[in-house]
Chains A and B, each alone.
Chain A
């Protein structure tokens, strides 16, 4: 099963995993990543953040990333749930899970999807700090991580 959802609401990782592999007896394993809101960034306390996105394009961009993962690895299923709107420290932001016959493909495709989500999907984080709100800057490390997959 392949699923992409962009939503304000929280999600239940256990239920998502259950749906991903239910009925798929060929899958040998699932690799999962869950991204969380941290309470500290660049040395400043983060009281919360707001995730903005580009409705319409976001869904297309994330689906294109999942399609590319499917072309690169023989995966059985993939799930991407990404939240938007106001979030608090400790909240889940994103979940990526990939099922495959063997673990190598699921780990690789899960990491690939996350690296591409961070550099190609139109989301922007704005943090609330004690000094006021500020837009989060993209990290060079994220670009470098995504470039690994190009060669």
Chain B
């Protein structure tokens, strides 16, 4: 079973009152799209961030920008965040 470290930034950190968590993934969760689907099923707040209705969600896997097809495996660091606003 794959274990990942999940990080949240920006507004999502406040929305979920969570900055980071260690998660054990079910076997079927092997990429970013499936992770979003799995997290969306938790409750309305997670659904609001990870659900298909939020196309603005950005993801990074092991500190590199990721997309829906980026694979996720044991030991990975996965971050969820809104569009960036630096500069």
Q: Which residues of A contact B (CB under 8 A)?
A: 35, 51-54, 56-57, 60-61, 82, 93-94, 114, 117-126, 135-138, 142-143
Q: A82-B86, A118-B84, A123-B85 are in contact. Are A52 and B64 (CB under 8 A)?
A: no
Given contacts A52-B10, A54-B79, A57-B79, contact A124 B63 (CB under 8 A): no
- Give 10 nearest A-B pairs by CB, closest first: A123-B86, A138-B83, A124-B10, A57-B63, A118-B87, A135-B11, A117-B87, A136-B85, A125-B85, A121-B86
CB of A57, distance to nearest CB on chain B (Å): 4
In the complex, besides A57-B60, A82-B86, 19 extra interface pairs with C-beta distance below 8 angstroms are: A51-B86, A52-B10, A54-B63, A54-B81, A57-B64, A57-B79, A61-B65, A82-B87, A118-B87, A122-B60, A122-B81, A124-B81, A124-B84, A125-B85, A125-B86, A135-B10, A135-B11, A135-B85, A143-B83
- In the docked arrangement, what's the CA distance between A124 and B79, Å? 14
Query: Quick check: A137 and B85 within 8 Å, CB to CB?
Result: yes
Are the CB atoms of B87 and A56 closer together than 8 Å? Answer: no
Indicate if B46 sits at the interface (CB-CB under 8 A).
no
Contact A122 B87 (CB under 8 A): no
List the B residue with the shortest CB-CB distance to A125: B85
Instruction: Find out whether the CB atom of A94 lies under 8 angstroms from the CB atom of B81.
Output: no
Contact-residue size bin, chain B (C-beta under 8 Å from the other chain): 10 to 19
How far apart are the CA atoms of A119 and B79 in the complex, in Å? 16
B86 touches A54 (CB 8 A): no
Report yes or no: B84 in contact with A122, Cβ–Cβ below 8 A.
yes
Does chain A have a CB within 8 A of B82? yes
Contact A52–B87 (Cβ < 8 Å): no
For B56, list chain A residues within 8 Å (CB): 138
